Structure 1
Amino acid sequence: MKKILLLAFLFCSANLFAQKYSGQWSGSFDAKGEPGGSRTEYFLELEVNGTKVEGTSTTYFIIEGKRFYTICAIEGNLDPRSKTITAKEVKRVKANTPQWFKDCFQVHTLTYFKKGDTEELEGNWKGARDEDKCGMGTTVLSRKQLVKNIITTPPAQNNNTVRTNPKPAPAQQKPTTKPTTPPKEKPEVVKTQPKKETPVTTGPAITKVDNQTETKTNAEVKANIPAPKLPNGLEKRESKVFETIPIEEEEITVNLYDNAEIDGDIITVLFNGEVVVSQKTLSDKPIVVKLKAIRGRDNTLTMYAENQGRIPPNTAIMRVQNGEQYHKVFLSADDKKNGSVVFRFKS
């Protein structure tokens, strides 16, 4: 009995310890040797389970006076003894960058510190792939108390460089404002900039993205996707399974919300082929779905894109609760493919 209690205590302690790092961290990184010492806005949303780290990074930056962002999925690990997190960007989830823009993935190695009432992650970054030649620098993030299912965007900055190692842009798109670059070649730009178009007047505070409506009210949302062809009123499309989630309980609670700029994404959700959500707009407020899984079979949830908003494709963060287990999945859908998740009972 004592051994069982000890194991239960250690398990709970490990979960609580991991939760200390979970949530949203905001701050910036710089690039070693970059003139002027400018920093790039950078955000991490972490979910730490044991020593496994996953989540997203968001970087905001400016190209030729226009504000852009990219969101990347991250994977990594936690060393509990040194309180150090390694967060590696592994793929792009969503962005509004020009076609010629080339991503420059990073690896951030960050150590946890507590200074008074402030929690910080501090450390260094370098390129995640040798071929990108992204450079290196330092990263400083502070703890942001994450309100459940709220999407945020940082304040605007005036002096940021682009977080990328870009491919040469077409002649008509080449920047002409770089003061020290010879005209015969495009300047190499270091991966160091923020990603979202929501200027605000506060300092380091984060502001909800729907404060950007003054710049988006006249933006054209992409036309609704073609006419229905199936009995349930939806066009037939292929489905991509983004994750298979093991479950133990029949009851599943799903929260879906936009994971970046609120750009008018409209979705329909199916569970085992039946429509459970019809033509709802993704936003910073979750679409909540209560489901009951059927034992003895795979249960499939599918996100169908009714449109693609202002910034294709249609993307969402899905948070899943099943008993005491929590999962987070990034879904993407467009006019050709649905995004799906399979729920499978543990054997």
Structure 2
Amino acid sequence: MVRILSFLLAVSTFLQIQAQELNGIWRGSFYNKYEYLIYREAAIYRYEVQLYNIGKGVKGVTYSYQDTRFYGKASMIGVWSGPSSNLTIKENSMEDLKIAGGGDGCLMTCYLTYRKEGNREFLEGTYTSVNMKNDTIPCGSGVVRLEKVTTSDFEEEDFIKNPPTAKTGGKPQVKPGQGEFLIKKPAPKTTTPPKTGTTATVKKPATPPAKSPVKKPVTPAPSTAKKTTTTPPKTTTTKPATPQPKPGTVVSKPAPTPTPVPTPKPQPAATNTEPKKIAVKPPAPAVLKNRTNELVETISTSAKVLEISFYDNGEIDGDTISVYNNNRLLVSRKGLSTEPITVRVQLNEEDPDQEVIMVAENLGSIPPNTALMIVQAGSQRFTVRLSSTEQKNALVRFRYDPNALK
């Protein structure tokens, strides 16, 4: 008797599973697991499925969306296997698609398993996806999770408002061989996760093979396939036909659009017509303004670096000098001797003239203050004798001339 009761219970459970119908609205999300490793919650796309089934056949529509950057509506067919609680749905055409910046979408095939926890019902599993215009171009794969809900984020389809039955007609039909194709889940492919910092791919907007699954907005790809006729979703006064989730609905933030980094435009090469950059000459100090700056010599050279040395010109009698270059102090109150006081001066096309001024800080024991200037300009050597007093300074002007002898 116990065995008979157990057998009847098992048969009853089997019949209940067989009779399970998935009619209604299922809402949740999908994401590419490798993209999720990089962007976390920002990589999750929202997904809604409105479907009806009678027995084995399943038909309906799907919505994939992510704020205002991406929205796609697709028609779908499917197969429900009661004994294994498995549902396979295949998006077969894109009915509406909005992608910021343009581009193609992707069509998903979802392999889901039904489970129930108390009063809550779930469909969970994986998905694969291909380009909506070329099914040989994959868009990626990932995870899908849906829960049965009572309301839609969009307009409810007629089969949701007035579900068809076997008696009223409209039963979904599975074409010969189609059921086996849909239920036969493809073997998982070994995929190498993208390196951190690379752009993972998600679902919808289709691009080259490296892009991830589903209708995710991407850079527009050249269209080589036929155009898809789209039918905009129905509009009502109470529900939006655009992908705006209802208040209270948890919405994952969109994956950050990799900013793409802009390539700097090449800058035009400098030409000889550009204005010359001349160094700003500081104001002259009082010792240069209050004394006469007597020009001793002008030296033209093609050398750009000058090494200038100062020696005492005669007996070492305690002469002390300061040296200025274009009003800038280079040497301050140093005594002349047989050891050189050396400074470096640079010449160039932008600022070709440099003035070097020797200032007598005292007259020593034998006036005036005299010095021997030796200039090394490349392979050239110049010797200049300078004399300075308390009323005048000794000025030597250097001029850059690329045509001068080196």
TM-score, normalised by the number of residues in structure 1: 0.41
When you count strand as a share of all residues, which structure comes out higher? 1
* Larger Rg over CA atoms: 2
TM-score, normalised by the number of residues in structure 2: 0.35
